[in-house]
Structure 1
């Protein structure tokens, strides 16, 4: 038993051990979930060891942010000042590789030591991962080998994508990146026979399935379903995109 904040940790069946561990290690949520996937009741020593020594000093100093989540966001959409800082040195590259592997499971393949090269791979990995997490059916064979995150990283991946789409300062960048990645991976062609691509609006070609499902619900007089679909996508980042 371990004392935390003057109490005993965990303090009984009423505690959600996973939730407590996630709160204790917010910057290492993916690793915490991965540990629980292997063992539903890991020792406190195992949890306490997660993230030991991984402070990313160069990234934090250059980007002027503290949390892993904010570092990831800055690597996706750096401000002008952050871009300038990343261009002045490559001392951050080794840290970035370690952080990306630890937080979302991305093992960088690029040998480039610039933000541009790393950013391209990071964007493709993050957006494709969200797309796969949202699919209600099996991924087509033509996409099986595209790198993507493990299930433990799903909450962080989805949070990043929602943040990129909802922040007006990053929406245009998101649109440009998503359109380019959709074309690069040939998603409309490879996924052309799939009737249901999930609920999230990661890529523009997915809009056709939302409309199709709304029309099918309307034909069944399922007005609640129609309202739910239209309501979900009324504020889509792709609204108004031909």
Structure 2
């Protein structure tokens, strides 16, 4: 059997796909409800497909299987996707989003279920005026939602508790017409101060941490 010393953990999307806690979600249907005024759809499991009805998530089963079959694996690169909406750095926005805008979630804890939010930075599924919707084709979402911050933290904590080295792997999915490659985000090749300022604005205040 081939040795596997490191893996990329995918699919990079899914609001709670990396969570160690079972979560169920209900999407908002804008044409549902009495009189077509909109209503929540029925709540359904979103991270326990492998063993429906159980308290162990798909992520947990997957890592159990990985370690059982490849105990030599030492490193997991946790791929977490945000979205980009243009190949023009002057106008491209990099942002998290969810397929549950105006929806609702509940998580399981010790046999009982309670309300929980999907959250990325300060945004939740209730921030309808600030979230950029994920595109749809024939009524289906093009991508899953950005993994929630709290689920990513729990995933990293779990991986480290298993003795694995964790690499956080941010990823950009392009949700622009034609779904272009993210590597094409750029500007004209001039070296003007305006171009430099635009690139600086696109990159923001990110900086490399030493140590």
Give TM-score scaled by structure 1 length.
0.27
Bigger relative CO (Cα 8 Å, ≥ 6 apart): 2
Structure 2-normalised TM-score? 0.29
Q: Compare the two structures and name the one with the higher helix fraction.
A: 1
Q: Which has the larger radius of gyration?
A: 1
Which has the larger share of strand? 2
